[in-house]
């Protein structure tokens, strides 16, 4: 079986260094809020090109804490609206709801599957306070257009960078393309920990300080609580794992690009639609997503030929039970995308033999 993702293989590749880093933490006797997290924050901020990075417990918390901090700083209040794409992983939307803010869904572009910047303005009301673009599958959104709209209406721009570590838009990286950005280091992401992890990046000092406190019980100083905060911290072991893997992230992305380019150049089957790439630098290929009308049939055919694929995502947010209030609304582009997408295996250590085999099997599909 060709696996969709070989996490064990990926981490085994860094085994010696990961064990060294782990040993360093064990022997330090310091497991939360120590040197590893501090150093990772510095290194990750530098990688993204931002002034600040704050380690948090996971990607969902990163987004929750950004919005929460804006509320504490008086930028947003209960009932305000945040614009978000209608096709995204549910976490982007949950972060808005959890803050008693209202998610306003905007349909994606039918080719890139990214939020359609031409449809944002019509959804802006007097309550709109932010746009939350998601760099879905690893390709950055049209950030020049989105930032222009945000400037015109005085909105914050919060990137969901959970799938786009290292991706560029023009000369800046994901994480440095708006006012603040949330990252996930879930094990399967392009930069993955060996457990849960996340980070916020920003150039806004006041926001960075508020997030740092909010993720630590609302406290900068032990037993003094500025806010009614939560506990959301990146632990020392995960920070140490991430410091090892961050060094190889660009290499990982380069290998993913090679596989993606091979797919793009060699998959030839007019039954399916290949991904639309605006620019090579903009895409880090967290997922290689093809489209086909009879998706489930192709998925079964590939499985019968020992190729594992996944669907990102089978049910659109507006059809989820969690958002019953939207179940009757219509987002036809999102609906169709969710019915037709299929993600092919793609990760740095995928062998060229497997990549060629996948292409051949797909090309023989009738
Ligand atoms: C993975 C992901 C998240 C959530 O990250 P976790 O670390 O799993 O909480 C948020 N948004 C998107 C687009 C994601 O893919």
- The per-residue pLDDT string of the chain (366 residues; one tens digit each, 9 = 90 and over) reads 999 999 999 999 999 999 999 999 999 999 999 999 999 999 999 999 999 999 999 999 999 999 999 999 999 999 999 999 999 999 999 999 999 999 999 999 999 999 999 999 999 999 999 999 999 999 999 999 999 999 999 999 999 999 999 999 999 999 999 999 999 999 999 999 999 999 999 999 999 999 999 999 999 998 999 999 999 999 999 999 999 999 999 999 999 999 999 999 999 999 999 999 999 889 999 999 999 999 999 999 999 999 999 999 999 999 999 999 999 999 999 999 999 999 999 999 999 999 999 999 999 999
Ligand 1 proximity of 198 Cβ (cutoff 6 Å): yes
Burial class of 222 by CB neighbour count within 10 A (0 to 12, 13 to 18, 19+):
exposed
Q: Please state whether the predicted TM-score (pTM) of the whole model is above 0.95.
A: yes
Sign of CA dihedral 288, 8, 184, 99: positive
Asked whether 186 lines ligand 1 (CB < 6 A), one says yes
- Which among 121, 137, 59, 136 has a CA at the least distance from the CA of 94? 59
Ligand 1 centroid–CA 268 distance in Å is 32
Rounded CA-CA distance 54/237 in Å is: 16
Q: Determine which residue's CA is closest to atom 14 belonging to ligand 1.
A: 162
**Helix segments in 182-246, DSSP class H:** 205-214, 236-246
**Residue from 38, 32, 82, 35 nearest 57 by CA:** 32
Structure tokens, 52: 């600040």
pLDDT at 280: 85
Asked if residue 163 has its Cβ within 6 Å of ligand 1, the reply is yes
Residue 364 burial by Cβ neighbours in a 10 Å radius (0-12, 13-18, 19+):
exposed
Domain limits of the chain? Answer: 7-242, 249-364
Q: Burial letters for 232-244: b for 16+ Cβ neighbours within 10 Å, e otherwise? A: bbbbbbbbbbbbb
Q: Verify whether ligand 1 is closer than 6 Å to residue 162 (CB atom).
A: yes
Q: One fold for both 7-242 and 249-364?
A: no
Confirm or reject: Cβ of 89 under 6 Å from ligand 1.
yes
Does domain 249-364 fall under CATH 3.90.1150.10? My reply is yes
Q: How far is the CA of 166 from the centre of ligand 1 (A)?
A: 16
Residue 62 CA, closest ligand 1 atom number: 9
**161 CA distance to ligand 1 middle (Å):** 8
Provide φ and ψ at 256, rounded to 5°.
Answer: -60, -40
DSSP string, 58-116: -HHHHHHHHHHHHHHTTS--TT-EEEEESSS-HHHHHHHHTTT-EEEEEPBPTTT-SB-
Nearest to 66 by CA among 238, 209, 220: 209
Beta-carbon neighbour count of residue 51 at 10 Å?
A: 14
CA of 304 to the centre of ligand 1 (A): 30
Active site residues: 189
Parallel/antiparallel/unpaired status of strands 168-169 and 172-173: antiparallel
What's the topology of domain 7-242?
A: 3.40.640
């Amino acid at each position: 079986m060709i696996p969709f993702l070989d996490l064990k293989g990926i981490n085994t590749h860094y085994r010696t260094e990961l064990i060294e880093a782990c040993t360093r933490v064990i022997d330090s006797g310091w497991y939360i809020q120590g040197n590893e997290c501090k150093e990772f924050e510095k290194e990750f901020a530098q990688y993204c090109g931002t002034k600040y990075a704050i380690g948090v417990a996971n990607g969902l918390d990163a987004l929750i804490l950004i919005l929460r901090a804006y509320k504490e700083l008086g930028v947003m209040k209960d009932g305000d609206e945040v614009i978000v794409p209608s096709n995204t992983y549910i976490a982007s939307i949950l972060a808005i709801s959890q803050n008693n803010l209202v998610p306003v869904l905007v349909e994606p572009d039918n080719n890139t599957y990214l939020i359609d910047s031409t449809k944002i303005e019509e959804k802006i009301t007097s309550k709109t306070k932010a746009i939350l673009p998601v760099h879905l599958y690893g390709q950055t959104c049209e950030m020049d257009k989105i930032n222009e709209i945000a400037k015109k209406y005085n909105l914050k721009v919060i990137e969901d960078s959970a799938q786009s570590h290292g991706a560029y838009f023009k000369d800046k990286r994901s994480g440095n393309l708006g006012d603040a950005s949330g990252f996930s280091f879930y094990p399967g992401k392009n930069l993955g920990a060996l457990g849960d992890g996340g980070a916020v990046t920003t150039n806004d000092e006041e926001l960075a300080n508020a997030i740092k406190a909010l993720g630590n019980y609302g406290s900068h100083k032990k037993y003094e609580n500025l806010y009614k905060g939560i506990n959301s911290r990146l632990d020392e072991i995960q920070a140490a794992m991430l410091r090892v893997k961050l060094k190889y992230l660009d290499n990982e992305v380069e290998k993913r690009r090679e596989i993606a380019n091979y797919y793009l150049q060699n998959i030839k089957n007019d039954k399916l639609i290949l991904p639309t790439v605006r620019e090579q630098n903009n895409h880090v290929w967290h997922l290689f997503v093809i489209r086909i009308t009879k998706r489930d049939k192709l998925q079964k055919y590939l499985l019968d030929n020992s190729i594992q694929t996944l669907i990102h995502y089978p049910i659109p947010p507006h059809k989820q039970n969690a958002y019953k209030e939207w179940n009757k609304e219509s987002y036809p582009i999102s609906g169709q995308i969710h019915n037709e997408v299929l993600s092919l295996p793609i990760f740095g250590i995928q062998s060229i033999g497997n990549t060629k085999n996948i292409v051949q099997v797909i090309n023989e599909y009738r």
